[in-house]
Amino acid sequence: MNFPSALMAVSPAAQPSGQVLRFPEKGNQQMQIQVNSNHSIDTGETFERWANAELNGSFSRYKDDITRIEVHMSDENGEKVSADHTRCMMEARLANREPVAVNHHGANQDEAFRGASDKLKRLLEHTLGKLRDHRARESIRHEPDLDNA
């Protein structure tokens, strides 16, 4: 895969496996993706780049609203094998709003990540959609005065 040269990796006080990937700036807004994992699961650079590309594509319409997305991968059962043992928690930091977070358990990293991504997308559509719908509506206070008609 070819990644845009505008992506640059930095790791400010992140967990050892964490990496922050910055998107090209649009105005003063920029969205960051940070992938972290606990000691029982290895995400690696390949997973982090794939996660960055997936989230960049999935959440591009919200890039003006999101300042950062944090992804936390963990293996809930350690070395034990069981269904839905991989957990993905995603938190979206929104500009001028409280952060929102979702969790999803899956049989592997891919399933957990995609499930959490879908949940976060639905949550953002709901949260930001309500805000946009509210702004787009006309106020009833601007109706013509019916008493003078």
Indicate which CATH number applies to the domain containing 91.
3.30.160.100
For residue range 37-58, list pLDDT tens digits in order. Answer: 888 787 888 989 999 999 988 9
Gyration radius of the chain's alpha carbons: 19
pTM above 0.75, yes or no: no
**Has residue 4 been placed in a domain?**
no
**Has residue 145 been placed in a domain?**
no
Residue 64: domain span: 9-135
Residue 107 is which amino acid? A
Number of domains in the chain: 1
16-27 mean pLDDT: 48
pLDDT band at 106 (very low <50, low <70, confident <90, very high): very high
For residues 120 and 31, give the distance between their C-alpha atoms in angstroms, rounded to a whole number.
15
To which residue do tokens 């990293």 refer? 109
What residues form DSSP beta bridges with 73?
37, 88
**Has residue 147 been placed in a domain?**
no
**Has residue 55 been placed in a domain?**
yes
Residue 74 neighbours by CB distance under 10 Å: 19
**Has residue 69 been placed in a domain?**
yes
